[in-house]
């Protein structure tokens, strides 16, 4: 169960075995949750003429999620392995309220004004169960934020200035948040129930059929023979798997046990090996076509097609991984790290011959999205069905799907959906409070006033807020919260809406590698048995473009595929060159070890090349100057290398 695993990972403690009751019930609850989500995603209920609305399905999966949480995640470590009476009561109440609302919700929603007592009681139970489940699964960081919004909902009329809002009466508060479709059962939970669960199932089927081994072997076959091949394998494998896993921390824990020892064996220091793994795993959340769960939520909030989000995210994600890849190569050149030993590199033809079918579901997914214009849940269903059929026929390294493994995939899908369902419900409550109290308008007005003086100041302030609010939170929670709070002011000031959403996503994710609470870096450091803070600092160095590129695609949207093809190509090529030279300056190596002056020149020139010519009048002169500086140092460095070799 991801709710248990994530919490355990973040606290650096191994999860204790659940109580016997939890062990007996959780598998069946997880299977039921997954089956309901998959059936709803498939649209079979509509095809069969079953009269059911989305909110009833959300109540069903949320009730099951509550039951799983309270059976498995104790309120205090002293209850690990036990099931105290209050957790048993909460689990039973969660199951009952979910079942009750499956039957009662349509009438309750339609006649909420005439049933204030029932609506308030139901809302109180839902809000209380969600809040406590959130504290147990996502940690106290997000809970503190949620409590702040609760306080504002009751006391908003006492806040001075532009943030003054409308206070909510307790009975209105609970009935609105629990029953209204703009509250707890709102857009975030709708997307998770409809789209995210099917993608989690797709990832589980790929994992259980040997997909992660295939991706690692393919990366080894392609990258293993180049210098620093072990790190390049980690970058490619972690990026591919991270896009599916939906969690940077989980991805580090899953792939890091293989890639970090491989990098250590290749010659990378412990902090550097851990940093590369952390950065590569974090980047999986911005890598199309899946992007964790953020892409689906972004498409819904922006009211655009999912395909448009994928297209916009391609170039920034490529720049991110090109930067990590180049720095791994430069680090290898600087420290003399050799390729992976030949006996550890599988032949590429053998890998493709044995595992070709793992490419098929991605081809089906992308084809369904872009050629059939299918919605993401339908495309994911096609992809999952493809790998299920092929996985039952073929095997990779002895891994083959069977009916029992498919049941396990369903169980794990349900269990892994729990924390994201709870987070979605909490995000719905935050959105509901923002709308009901008018706080969203006050926040936007306040930040727009800041941005009118300088868009750069507003962007910088937003970036800092995103990193701070993102500390300690799962990826989905980061994006939910920041999309609601931080994007409206940017859009109000003329920033492209999709650029604004990608901006907050990038900086929210950077909290995973940014001290003092760098969960992905700290998890990788634990696996590498090295200092967590040194790892986080190294991760920031390897992931530095992610702190710069978002500013660039806000200023010049060419980087998110908005503009003429030639302009897009030029901006991307100069950005790659800028990242290469600036990374060389930071690493201290390109062709040979660099002097302090050469390093400074590469950094200055590289940043100049990164600046899009559309940024401001005369920006192209800065770009040209950057290219000239880098070109001059490159040629002089080449001459130095020749002189050394000739002697």
Nearest to 500 by CA among 513, 491, 508: 491
* 77 inside domain: yes
DSSP 378-441: HHHHHHHHHHHHHHHH--BTTB---HHHHHHHHHHHHHHHHHHHHHHHHHHHHHHHHHHHSHHH
* 250 inside domain: no
* 44 inside domain: yes
Query: Do residues 544 and 586 touch, judged by C-beta distance below 8 A?
Result: yes
In the DSSP assignment, the letter for residue 593 is: B
Query: Do residues 501 and 304 touch, judged by C-beta distance below 8 A?
Result: no
pLDDT of residue 466: 80
Distance CA 317, CA 9 (A): 26
* 151 inside domain: no
pLDDT digits (tens, 9 = 90+) for 8-67: 333 444 556 788 898 999 999 999 999 999 999 888 877 777 778 889 999 999 999 999
pLDDT digits (tens, 9 = 90+) for 62-90: 999 999 999 998 988 788 888 899 999 99
* 278 inside domain: no
* 50 inside domain: yes
Residue 434 pLDDT grade (very low, low, confident, very high; cuts 50, 70, 90): confident
Distance CA 211, CA 10 (A): 26
Cα–Cα distances (Å) from 496 to 349, 553, 586, 601, in that order, read: 44, 9, 32, 33
Domain-terminating residue out of 123, 140, 157:
140
Distance CA 245, CA 251 (A): 6
* 264 inside domain: no
Count of domains forming the chain: 2
* 603 inside domain: yes
Domain-terminating residue out of 109, 140, 171:
140
Write out the residue range of the structural domain in which residue 24 sits.
2-140
pLDDT of residue 9: 39
In 3-state terms, what secondary structure has residue 589? strand
**Once rounded to an integer, what is the mean pLDDT over residues 372-382?**
85
Lowest mean pLDDT among 27-31, 113-117, 290-294, 313-317: 290-294
Percent of the chain beyond pLDDT 90?
Answer: 28
């Amino acid at each position: 169960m991801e709710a248990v695993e994530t919490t355990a990972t973040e606290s650096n403690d191994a999860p204790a075995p659940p109580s016997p009751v939890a062990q007996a019930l959780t598998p069946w609850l997880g299977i039921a949750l997954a089956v309901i989500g998959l059936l709803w995603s498939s649209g079979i209920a509509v095809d069969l003429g079953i009269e059911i609305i989305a909110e009833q399905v959300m109540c069903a999966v949320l009730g099951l999620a509550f039951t799983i949480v309270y059976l498995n995640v104790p309120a205090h470590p002293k209850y690990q392995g036990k099931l105290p009476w209050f957790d048993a009561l909460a689990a039973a109440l969660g199951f009952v309220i979910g079942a009750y609302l499956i039957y009662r919700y349509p009438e309750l929603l339609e006649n909420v004004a005439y049933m204030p007592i029932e609506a308030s009681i139901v809302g109180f139970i839902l809000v209380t169960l969600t809040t406590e489940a959130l504290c147990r699964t996502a940690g106290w960081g997000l809970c503190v934020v949620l409590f702040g919004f609760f306080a504002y909902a009751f006391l908003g009329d006492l806040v001075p200035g532009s943030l003054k809002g409308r206070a909510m009466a307790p009975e209105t508060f609970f009935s609105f948040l629990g029953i209204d479709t703009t509250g707890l059962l709102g857009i975030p939970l709708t997307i998770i129930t409809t789209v995210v669960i099917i993608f989690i199932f797709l990832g589980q089927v790929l994992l259980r059929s040997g997909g992660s081994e295939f991706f690692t072997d393919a990366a080894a076959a392609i990258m293993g023979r180049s210098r620093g091949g072990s790190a390049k394998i980690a970058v490619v494998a972690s990026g591919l798997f991270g896009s599916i896993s939906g969690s940077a921390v989980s991805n580090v824990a899953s792939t890091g046990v293989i890639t970090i020892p491989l990098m250590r064996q290749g010659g990378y220091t412990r902090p550097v090996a851990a940093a590369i793994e952390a950065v590569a795993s974090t980047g999986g959340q911005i890598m199309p076509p899946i992007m964790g769960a953020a892409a689906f939520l972004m498409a819904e909030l922006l009211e655009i097609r999912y395909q448009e989000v994928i297209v916009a995210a391609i170039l920034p994600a490529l720049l991110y991984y090109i930067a990590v890849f180049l720095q791994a190569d430069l680090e290898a050149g600087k420290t003399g790290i050799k390729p992976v030993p030949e006996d550890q590199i599988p032949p590429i033809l053998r890998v493709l011959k044995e595992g070709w079918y793992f490419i098929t579901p991605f081809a089906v997914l992308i084809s369904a999205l872009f050629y059939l214009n299918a919605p993401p849940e339908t495309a994911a269903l096609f992809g999952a069905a493809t790998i299920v059929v092929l996985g039952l026929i073929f095997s990779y390294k002895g891994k083959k799907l069977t009916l029992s493994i498919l049941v396990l995939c369903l169980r794990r899908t349900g269990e892994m959906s729990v924390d994201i369902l709870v987070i979605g419900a909490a995000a719905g409550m935050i959105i509901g409070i923002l709308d009901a109290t008018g706080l969203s308008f006050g926040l936007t007005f306040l930040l727009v006033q800041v941005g009118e003086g300088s868009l750069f100041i507003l962007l910088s302030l937003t970036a800092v807020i995103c990193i701070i609010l993102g500390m300690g939170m799962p990826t989905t929670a980061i994006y939910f919260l920041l999309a609601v709070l931080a994007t409206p002011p940017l859009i109000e000031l003329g920033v492209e809406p999709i650029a604004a959403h990608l901006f907050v996503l990038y900086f929210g994710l950077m909290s995973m590698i940014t001290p003092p609470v760098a969960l992905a870096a700290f998890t990788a450091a634990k696996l590498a048995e090295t200092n967590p803070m040194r790892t986080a600092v190294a991760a920031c160095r390897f992931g530095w473009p992610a702190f710069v590129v978002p500013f660039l695609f806000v200023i010049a949207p060419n980087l998110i595929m908005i503009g003429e093809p030639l302009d897009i190509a030029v901006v991307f090529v100069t950005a790659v060159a800028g990242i290469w030279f600036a990374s060389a300056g930071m690493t201290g190596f390109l062709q040979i070890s660099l002097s302090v002056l050469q390093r400074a020149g590469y950094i200055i020139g590289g940043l100049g090349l990164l600046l899009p010519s559309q940024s401001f009048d005369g920006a192209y002169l800065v770009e040209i100057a950057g290219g000239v500086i880098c070109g001059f140092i490159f040629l002089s460095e080449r001459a130095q290398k020749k002189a050394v070799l000739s002697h």
